[in-house]
Structure 1
Amino acid sequence: MTRFLLFATALFVCLQSILAVSIDIGPHKKECFFEDLNVGDKLTVTFQVGEGGNLDIDFSIVDPQGSLIKNERQMAGTHVVQANREGRYVYCFSNEMSSVTAKSLSFNVHDMERLQETAQQHIDPLEREIRELAESIFAIKSEQDFFEQREKQHRNTAESTNSRVKWWSLGQLSLLAAVCMWQIYYLKRFFEVKRVV
């Protein structure tokens, strides 16, 4: 009973500390989110651009003092920030460089380091194993989300290619039919005998 209660508590804590979000960011738009961290906490943000434009987005993290910690343009990434100050850390995804294309983005926010640090304290070996299992579940979930986004991106590319091939083939077929009809008409007129009365 104690093991089950311990496992259920660890699982509940793990599920509470992960957040998976999918958003669409329009052209010239910026979406920001925040996390309140204590000194020493580590925040992990994993993201993947699913569709839109060159599949890149501007990612930035700002600390409570307003200082820029990271600012990069990437297709996908994992960023870990350790809080040096207590307060609100803001992370933003910006599509301001795009003038036409909206971007579809999926990201996870989790804090595995806090679990690791508490697991290193003097605790029961079974509880330590449960926490390590929870960390492994987080890593697998993050990888699964990454592969799901890649599969979605590749499926969209394949469907787009199939659509283009279909329309190109229909265009070629109609052009071929028009050329055949014109040739038949032209040859028919060429071999007609014209009589002057």
Structure 2
Amino acid sequence: MRYWAVVAAVLALFAPVFAHRIDVAPRSKQCFFENLQTDDRMTVSYEVGGASHNGPLEIDFYVQSPSGNQIYSSNRESQGSFSTAAASPGRYTYCFNNHGSPTSAKTVSFNVHGILFLGDDEPIAPVEVEIRELSNRIQMVKDEQAYLVVRERVHRNTCESTNSRVKWWGVAQIIILLSICGWNVHYLKSWFEVKRVL
């Protein structure tokens, strides 16, 4: 029995992390759910990675229990993380709400992962404790990597937007300068022509 518990804990280390990227339209929300058993643990971490129309990088997030009660909510956050142990079996729903933004769509990257429970009524061997701790630390590294990828995307988009604005401002300055030069040449030419007629 102890052998299978250790094997299950080791397999938990390599359990896939479900990374998603969604676009939430203005004045709308997108919801997802996970079916959990009692004492199962669910963790959701998210990051707003972009917004159309240069809108703010923030979104509302909330989690509902199978009975429909809201067990967690955060308003106008650019990133966050929520973890819960299921008090009862059923469907736990989590939603990203963009109702506070009338014109700006949001791009949200989020990860959903859980921690394997082997039962609290049995004594836990030291190697199992170490494996669980290692699993949690690996998950933290994965979440940090996902966060860094999203931040890099945000900064890259900002740099590209700034570069585009500088380029077009430079083009506009050249057009204005050539227009002023042309107007000056025309004005001086017409002034000398008038003087010559007189």
- Superposed, 1:62-141 pairs within 5 Å as 62-73=64-75, 74-112=77-115, 114=116, 122=123, 125-141=126-142
How far does the alpha carbon of each residue in 1:73-100 deviate from its partner, in whole angstroms, 9 at most, with x for none? 2110011122222211100011122222
How far does the alpha carbon of each residue in 1:47-77 deviate from its partner, in whole angstroms, 9 at most, with x for none? 0000002011110100011111122221100
C-alpha contact (below 8 Å) 2:24/2:105 kept by paired residues: yes
SS for the counterpart of 2:141 is helix
**Match of residue 165 from structure 1:** 166
Q: How many residues align?
A: 189
Q: Distance in 1 between matches of 2:176 and 2:121?
A: 72
- Superposed, 1:36-51 pairs within 5 Å as 36-51=35-50
> Structure 1's 16 and 68: CA in aligned 2 closer, same or farther, altered over 3 A?
same
TM-score with structure 1 setting the length: 0.84
> Structure 1's 39 and 127: CA in aligned 2 closer, same or farther, altered over 3 A?
closer
Q: Which ranges in structure 2 are unaligned for 5 or more consecutive residues? A: 1-5
C-alpha contact (below 8 Å) 2:63/2:92 kept by paired residues: yes
Give the counterpart letter for 2:20 in structure 1: V
C-alpha contact (below 8 Å) 1:50/1:103 kept by paired residues: yes
Identity of aligned residues (%): 41
Q: Distance in 2 between matches of 1:119 and 1:165?
A: 61
Give the C-alpha shift of residue 158 in structure 1: 0.7
SS for the counterpart of 2:196 is coil
Give the C-alpha shift of residue 10 in structure 1: 4.8
C-alpha contact (below 8 Å) 1:41/1:83 kept by paired residues: yes
C-alpha contact (below 8 Å) 1:119/1:128 kept by paired residues: no
**Match of residue 30 from structure 2:** 31
Q: Which ranges in structure 1 are unaligned for 5 or more consecutive residues? A: 1-5
> Structure 1's 65 and 169: CA in aligned 2 closer, same or farther, altered over 3 A?
same
TM-score with structure 2 setting the length: 0.84
Give the counterpart letter for 2:187 in structure 1: Y
